[in-house]
């Protein structure tokens, strides 16, 4: 009865969900938890979409990057919970997605260097 009252009360369920949503480890050696992973991803995806514009529009690489990055950015904007982001994107943990987005930015720079 006591637990039900707490969980159905004003902020009890929200507090429980917030406490549960804290990630303690990635379970991957050398890959640290990023507490604000959603915000980091949004920033990286926005930067990727900006920087890919330097690649000609007719390049397949640009089209692919704009497509999957735009999709991932939309998910990050729609979801607050890191677990939901991971589930919807389906390509690993948010920390892995951050590393992938950082690598994509490096690749874009190399592609631009090759094109010009």
* pLDDT tens figures, 19-50: 456 899 999 999 999 999 999 999 999 999 99
Domain annotation covers residue 99: yes
Structural domain includes residue 15: no
Domain that holds residue 66: 28-115
pLDDT at 8: 53
- Is 16 among the domain residues? no
The answer to whether 105 and 44 have CB atoms below 8 angstroms apart is: yes
As for how many domains the chain has, the answer is: 1
- Asked whether residue 10 is assigned to any structural domain, the reply reads no
pTM value is 0.81
Calpha distance 29→22 (Å, rounded): 19
Q: Which of 93, 38, 104 is nearest to 67 (CA)?
A: 104
Q: Give the pLDDT score at 114.
A: 87
């Amino acid at each position: 009865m006591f637990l039900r009252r707490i969980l159905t009360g004003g902020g009890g369920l929200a507090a429980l969900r917030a406490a549960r949503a804290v990630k303690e480890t990635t379970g991957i050696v050398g890959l640290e938890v990023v507490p604000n992973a959603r915000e980091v991803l949004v920033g990286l995806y926005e930067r990727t979409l900006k920087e890919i514009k330097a690649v000609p529009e007719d390049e397949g690489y640009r089209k692919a990057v704009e497509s999957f990055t735009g999709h991932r950015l939309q998910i990050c904007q729609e979801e607050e919970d890191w677990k939901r982001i991971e589930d919807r994107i389906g390509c690993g943990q948010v920390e892995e997605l951050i590393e992938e987005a950082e690598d994509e930015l490096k690749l874009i720079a190399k592609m631009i260097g090759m094109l010009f």
